[in-house]
Chain A
Amino acid sequence: MGRYLLLLLTALPAHSVDFGREILPLLSDKCISCHGPDPSSRMANLRLDNREAALAVITPGDPAKSKLIARVAPAKPAMLMPPTRSHKAPLTPAEVDLFRRWIAEGANWGQHWAFVKPTRPTPPRPGHPIDAFLNPTYPNPAAPAHTLRRRLAYDLTGLPPTANVPYEQLLDQLLASPHFGERMAMWWLDGARYADSDGFQADDTRTNWPWRDWVAAQFNKNLPFNEFTRQQFAGDLLPNATPETKLATAFHRNHMTNGEGGRHIEESRIDYVLDRTNTTGTVFLGLTLGCAQCHTHKFDPIEHRDYYSFTAFFNSVAEDGAAGRKAKPYLSVDSPYAPRAIAEMENLAAQRRPAEQQARQAAQKPFEAWLKTQPPANYQAWQPLRPHELTSAEGTQFTLEKDATIQSTGPFPRQDDYRLATRIPLPRVTGFQLEVLPSPKLSRNDSGEFLLTDIKFQVRTPGTSQLRDLLIKNAIADYSADKAKNNNYGNIKDTLDDDPRNGWTTLGADNSKPHYARFELSEPLVLGPAEEVLIELRHRSTAGFQNIGRFRLSATADLGPGVQTLGPSPLEQLAAGKPDRARLLDQFLAGHAPYLAARAALDRAQKQLDELKASTKVNVMVLEDLPQPRESHILLRGVWDKKGEVVTPNALPAILPLAPNEPRNRLGLANWLVSPENPLTARVIVNQLWQLMFGEGLVRTPEDFGLQGERPDHPALLDWLAVEFVESGWDVKHMLRLIATSAAYQRDSRASAEQLAQDPANRQFARGARFRLPAWMLRDAALTHAGLLNPAFGGPPVRPYQPEGVWEELFMGRFTYDPSEGPAQYRRTLYAFWRRSIAPTFLFDSAQRRSCEVRTSRTNTPLQALTLLNDETYLEAAQTLAAHPLATIFEKVLHRKPTAPELSTLTKQYNQALTHYKTNPTDAAKLLRSGRAKTNPTPQRAAAMLVASLILNLDEAITHE
């Protein structure tokens, strides 16, 4: 409807037609995909993308004689352009009228606005230049002081304000804060598709994070943007190149890499080279260069050849397309930020070490007591199991003998699964034992060799139809054949992985002697009444006919060495009068909860400490050219091995010819990008800066300044800002300060019904921007509100809380996710480990970090609500905030005092919750435990935690107002 209103306005014949604003978008939308620069899709040999060619169907001054008009508004429907089969809507009468008037006025031609170098327009009014250009009819007044403080702090640091100081002073503080660089880095990393893993196939971990810290540090130093660009494109080629400027070039190595077995590495290499071109196009030029990969751009003046000439700049990097740890060239980096992280974790481990020692000491007394009660003289650790159900998938039959031995009989199929159901004659189970017995050999086949591919343990509960898998922590056997010599068959551990291409065999040992294996459960199992265990022995080997002949199963309740080692258990030794105290203590500690907790806490810290120590010197993927440049070609239809004509490095001539004195390498390209003559870069970047502060750019398609992109809402302002950016020496902080000091930025964001009806998207900037904050800011804010935030700068990635199992289920266990321990848990989201195949689960609407993204997505879904209600970080923040009175919590989160009605609602909420928790103190303890409380659980604290969670979920709390 808004569009329709605009059309009505343009239908008033008061002004002369503006080619760039009114005609070119129409030509682009309706005609140019078939009558444009791309010869492969050009119809009727007609071009409408330049005046000379278009004169074939246009007679300037005479619409009636112009064939263009006859076709867009034809007498016969069959003549209609664009044709029905193009699925483009026909021109509206107003649009046809616009064409008519334009031709009548002489069919003046012009260039697309964004391809003409901006000149500084004179502000139409005195005062702040931004406000001089933006002059809404009914502007809102300035927002309240606390709203402005929040707005500014989130925009410039991604954090809530902590100081209550006047606006101007706050502005200075925020721009000087180290958190400024972190906030800007989060913006830059999205465009740079930065991540901590390769993305494809095994999704290997990479260590490019020193580059992430470099980015944040440059924004803090306010490195001029042209220099920032030069270093990232050509830090290795600069005359004064240093390791630091070389590190900068990781920008162009942040693409995904594919190490898939069987993939041609040259195909991958070409992918990476093209990715650099496309990323440059989106981030710096606002051009959809990727469209010209297969053919000449359908709308913008970028020929197929231009695309590959541009790509040639990136084609001589000394890379070969390999991924994982072979993605050279690398720069070895000693991160200045790693020692702090190591010291922090060392400190945590040091705190936990004495706790473990104390727990071990404290266990001595109960250990001695335990020894006295153990065990009967005839103690037998392994109790034979007598299954009451014995079946098989393919027909093998069984006889159960007196001593619980099971003999297979009857058919001997190629492959078979033996299925047993048994009760357990023990109060708890910690492991199972499988004995394979000779009769006279281990299998009924000729060789006498068995091969067990997999074993499964499950629990069946009467009354439910579903089974529960029992997880096995480890398996050991008295003999395992050598895998390497037996087509991958041998190892007992391979019976746990559901893979029939490996498994256990004792091939090579005497097959007339018994063998046995032990399986330790991940956690002790206590069966309910009438519950039973199902055991499945799978024989699914490739060759087949290797099923077990005779066997027996048993279970044990012993812990530690009792189930983890072969031979007699410590208790059996004790019963036999040969005690081994060390083994006995190990067994006791394995079941002693206080010790186990202390030990596990230490182990976790120690493991993360070891991991951090390994990250003091890391390889960062950087740029470096081959001594001899590669020959570059046009790739026909964009296919990596379909080489066309040879091309040499060149910039995009239709945008700006490359100056003759520039080197034809990445440095020359960088200089071209940040040349004051370049019509695009400064506009594109100030547009993104504007977007950081207003939620939307002045051009609302920040990724596309081409013919199909949206036109700027305020072209003169955009040009003024672009020129100011260049003339200020590409000073990013200056630009942000300029925006922050405008009245437009500071307006109240409230919208009247009238404003919403007239300008729903706030294109006139009559009001301040109101939008939901990015998910990463919400996490950082929650930590800050609660006083939990660890403000440290830089260093190896950290792992914020994520629900259990999210990595494991995607990779079937290849990667596990252990949340960071201690203060490392509370670092800013910028430092969160980013695995490409599964982005951090607590982020929503975030860039995907697979390919470059400069436009933000903002949706409003129930899944976001669930995250903010139930994610561990928010629960812990709520629990921590709950130490304060309600009004204080409110003020910490919203930076204003609650109104009386608000406070009354919160108090009512608190009282309701308090009533519940007073009656149900265990609920209070549970809730506080979810919030990781270390204090005594009280109903009051639990009730306050619930209210704090409510406050953290308020629309006002999560919104840039």
Chain B
Amino acid sequence: MHSRRLFLTQSLGAIALNAMDALPHFPAKAKRVIFLTQSGGPSQIELFDHKPGLMKLAGQELPDSVRQGQRVTTMTANQKQLIMPPVAKFLRHGKSGTELGEWLPHLGKVVDDICLVKSMHTDQINHAPAMTQFLTGNQLPGRPSLGAWTSYGLGSVNKNLPDYLVLLSKMQRPSDQPLYDHYWGSGFLPSRYQGVKLRNAKDPVLYLRDPEGLPRPLRRQMLDGLAELNQRRLDETGDPEIATRIRQYEMAYRMQASVPELTDLSNEPDEVFNLYGPDSRRPGSYAANCILARRLAERDVRFIQLFHPDWDHHSRLPSWCTARCRDTDQPSAALVTDLKRRGLLDDTLVVWGGEFGRGVAGQGQWDSIEAGRDHHPRCFTIWMAGAGVKPGLSYGATDDFSFNVAENPVHVRDLHATILQLLGIDHAKFTFRFQGLDFRLTGVEPARVVKGVLS
């Protein structure tokens, strides 16, 4: 009898080891994430990774010893790889003395609150595969996104809003890189973990609005009638799904109030709009979405993801790259300031970055103002701020050409492991069984938590 009891406890223990309710694996530094996705590949050479030495090498061919057979896209495969020095000037900011390109004046003001990671690298050189890898850990669509993994692992805090919300900037120009919904998809996880798009439209969430002529009290009565009949069916059939369904209709009803309350910025004071910049007064803009991101953080939404497209400056850096900086610089910096002064930065992780960087060689005539830069996977810069991240730090370094990582490389999967770590999740243990395999966000290649950026 004694041994039988021992057997029982041990068996149950072994089963519990695999159970999801063991999350978080350790105390979390970050309760939530705001991921500011910059789609298209912002140029680290103009914005973050200052290489003054390139001035002397202007127009020279990139040495093979640096290039080491790196592929470029077929857009520049047939042209010489001639070095184009940074088009933007760099300025020092803050106590940390961090250098930033002149096109990011506002970020300069919060530079002591953020941590630049200059040694990011990835495997893909084309947008869709690279962005898919950046957000799901694999270049092929079908894996859950970082946000879906987070929602699956940690669940919700706010019972009136989805755990994972996605906001796209409203642009006037057709984008060459559409934002596929698999970027926030749930892959093989149940679809309830996928990101819910918060739209700048009459219906911020699809189908949220009741039809005209159906006032709220009448909807309430109708749902009461529906619940009454569904409850009757539950009693007859015993199917627990019906109980869930009744609860989901109630949550839908609550969302009809909580979402418009969330997206209504009319109570935000002028001072807030001034902080986030003039574009924040335009609904759907990246700047307005940054204000929404703060409101979502205040409401304890677990994973908040913004997307800003069109960073793909293959030409005309002075007009193209600056245009995207104008859209995003002030609001991104304002978000950090705003979270900080409200005490939210302590447990909110902010991440800013795109799927890859840009090459040191000019695309087109390197000495023409028309020139741009092609995609580059071997190094790029992102920044992080908030919960558990060392402020005022520049982590990692590239070589003199901003071409290869020279110090402390951080692969995309290392970034994923680090974000999960901050959320209290051990990436190696966080798995989901699909097609007979235990899948992880960080995949099968070794991934490491970047301890150097953790405070």
Chain A interfacial positions (CB closer than 8 Å to B): 3-4, 7, 87, 89-90, 92-94, 199-203, 256, 258, 260-264, 288, 291, 298-299, 415, 453, 458, 464-469, 487, 496-501, 540-544, 701, 703-704, 706-709, 749-753, 755-756, 770-772, 803-806, 809-814, 836-839, 841, 844-845, 848, 850-851, 857, 859-867, 869-871, 875, 901-902, 905-906, 908-909, 912-913, 916, 920, 922-931, 942, 946, 949-950, 953-956, 961
Docked Cα-Cα span, A841 to B12, in Å, equals: 43
B367 within 8 A of A: no
CA distance A899 to B200 in the complex (A): 45
Query: Are A804 and B175 within 8 A (Cβ)?
Result: no
Which residue on chain A has the smallest CB distance to residue B127? A260
Set of chain A residues within 8 Å of B343, measured between Cβ atoms: none
Name the residue of chain B whose CB is nearest to the CB of A760: B240
Compute how far the CA of A498 lies from the CA of B170 in the bound complex, rounded to whole angstroms: 11
Let me know if B319 and A288 touch, CB within 8 A.
Answer: no
Given A262-B74, A863-B205, A912-B218, residue A954 in contact with residue B173 (CB < 8 A): no
Tell me which of B15, B170, B206, B431 has the highest count of chain A C-beta atoms within 10 A of its own C-beta. B206
Residue of B nearest to A703 (CB): B435
Best-surrounded residue of B126, B209, B230, B255 (most CB of chain A within 10 A): B126
B265 surroundings in chain A (CB, below 8 A): 465-466
Give the one of A458, A803, A925 with max B CB within 10 A. Answer: A803
* 0/1 interface trace, chain B 143-171, chain A, CB 8 Å (1 if under): 00000000000000000001000001011
| 16 A–B contacts, CB within 8 A, in A order | A201-B127, A262-B76, A465-B281, A466-B281, A704-B435, A770-B237, A837-B178, A857-B191, A860-B244, A863-B205, A866-B252, A916-B215, A923-B214, A930-B214, A950-B226, A954-B233
Which residue from A7, A258, A468 sits with its C-beta under 8 Å from B126? Answer: A258
Smallest CB gap from A300: residue in B = B436
Q: Which residues of A contact B218 (CB under 8 A)?
A: 912-913, 916, 946
**10 tightest Cβ-Cβ pairs between the two chains A and B:** A708-B436, A262-B73, A926-B213, A927-B213, A930-B211, A498-B172, A862-B252, A500-B319, A865-B252, A926-B212
Additional A-B contacts beyond A202-B178, A465-B269, A864-B248 (9; CB < 8 A):
A92-B11, A465-B270, A466-B265, A466-B282, A857-B191, A865-B249, A923-B213, A928-B213, A931-B211
B436 and chain A: residue at smallest CB distance: A708
Give chain B nearest CB distance to A308 CB in angstroms. 18
Measured in the bound complex, the distance between the Cα atoms of B245 and A956 in whole Å is 11
Shortest Cβ gap from A394 to chain B (Å): 11
Q: How far is the CB of A135 from chain B (nearest CB, A)?
A: 23
Q: Chain A residue with minimal CB distance to B266? A: A464
Q: How many Å from the CB of B144 to the closest CB on chain A?
A: 12
- Chain A residues contacting B141 (CB-CB under 8 Å) are 256, 848, 850-851
Smallest CB-CB separation from B268: which chain A residue?
A465
A540 touching B273 by the CB < 8 A rule? no
Tell me which residues across on chain B come within 8 A of A755, comparing CB atoms.
238
Chain A residue numbers with a CB within 8 Å of B61 are none
Residues of chain B contacted by A875 (CB below 8 angstroms)? 211
A487 to B222 Cα, complex, angstroms = 61
B236-257 contact mask (Cβ, 8 Å, vs A): 1 or 0: 1111111011001101100110
Q: Which of A500, A838, A875 counts the most B-chain CB atoms under 10 A from its CB?
A: A500
Asked if B319 and A861 make an inter-chain contact with CB atoms under 8 angstroms apart, the answer reads: no
CB B40 to nearest CB in A, in angstroms, measures 12
With contacts A466-B265, A803-B206, A862-B249 taken as known, whether A927 is within 8 angstroms of B319 at the C-beta atoms is: no
Among A7, A203, A848, A949: residue with most chain B CB under 10 A: A848
Interface range for B: 35 or more
- What's the Cα separation between A328 and B206 when bound, in Å? 37
Q: Spot the interface stretch: B109-117, B294-302, B368-376.
A: B368-376
Stretch at the interface among B44-52, B180-188, B390-398: B180-188
Alpha-carbon gap, A928 to B211, bound state (A): 9
A866 to B17, CA, bound (A): 37
- Which residue in A3, A260, A812, A955 is a CB contact (below 8 Å) of B174? A812
CB of B122 within 8 A of chain A?
no
Interface string of B6-26 (1 = CB under 8 A from A): 010011101101100000000
The answer on a CB contact under 8 Å between B201 and A803 is yes
Question: How long is the Cα–Cα vector from A199 to B185 in the complex, in angstroms?
Answer: 15
Closest A residue to B215 by beta carbon equals A923
- Bound together, the chains give a CA A466 to CA B282 distance in angstroms of 6
User: Are A837 and B215 within 8 A (Cβ)?
Assistant: no
With contacts A837-B180, A850-B141 known, is A925 near B213, CB below 8 A?
Answer: yes
Neighbouring A residues of B429 by C-beta, 8 Å: 87
Interface contact B232-A902, CB-CB below 8 Å? yes
Q: Is the CB of B168 within 8 A of A809?
A: yes
Cβ A809 vs Cβ B210 within 8 A:
no
Tell me which residues from 251 to 306 in chain B have a Cβ below 8 Å from any Cβ of chain A: 251-252, 255-256, 265-266, 268-270, 272-273, 281-283, 288
**Is B79 engaged at the interface, CB distance under 8 Å to the other chain?**
no
Give A920 Cβ to nearest chain B Cβ, in Å. Answer: 8
The answer to whether B170 touches A909, judged by C-beta atoms less than 8 angstroms apart, is: no
Q: Are B318 and A544 in contact (CB under 8 A)?
A: yes
* C-alpha gap A901/B170 in the complex (Å): 50
**What residue in chain A is nearest B212 (Cβ atoms)?**
A926
